[in-house]
Amino acid sequence: MEPLRINTRLILPPGELHVTFSRSGGPGGQNVNKVATRVQLRFCVLDSPSLGERRRARLMRQLGSRLTKGGEVVVHASSHRERGRNLEEARQRLAALLRTGLQVPKNRKPTKPTRSSKRKRLDAKRKRGDLKRSRRPHAD
């Protein structure tokens, strides 16, 4: 198996990915009962020497619900009839999952409403109030 490229700075060596195959419930007819084409791909975030402490902490925080108690990310793929295609799909899913988990969100810059937007809002409120006031019966 070849290394898995997550992004430009992170490439996981094949030794850190654990692959198991089992019988799939997907398409394949009678073949389904004989051939193990379902792929289970595991990557341990806690024990990975490829990740630094910052990346590990970020992944633990972002993927908390997807991790096992042992700190592993588990991805299953069984949509294809061939083992190789399922393996490639599982690798792509894992890479996408880790890529999104490692993304740093942009800092929000707090902004204030402009003077003209405040004026427009107050004008609209005043106009609406005048309309409602004009509908009331006159008290003479």
Which candidate, 37, 18, 22, 43, places its Cα nearest to that of 94? 43
Q: Low-confidence residues of the chain, pLDDT below 50? A: none
Q: Render pLDDT for 63-89 as a digit per residue (tens, 0 to 9).
A: 888 888 888 899 999 888 888 899 999
What b/e sequence results for 41-76 when a residue is b if at least 16 CB atoms lie within 10 Å of its CB, and e otherwise? bbbbbeebebbeeebbebbeebbeeebeeebbbebe
Domains belonging to the chain, first-starting first, are 4-102 (3.30.160.20)
For the entire predicted model, the pTM comes to 0.70
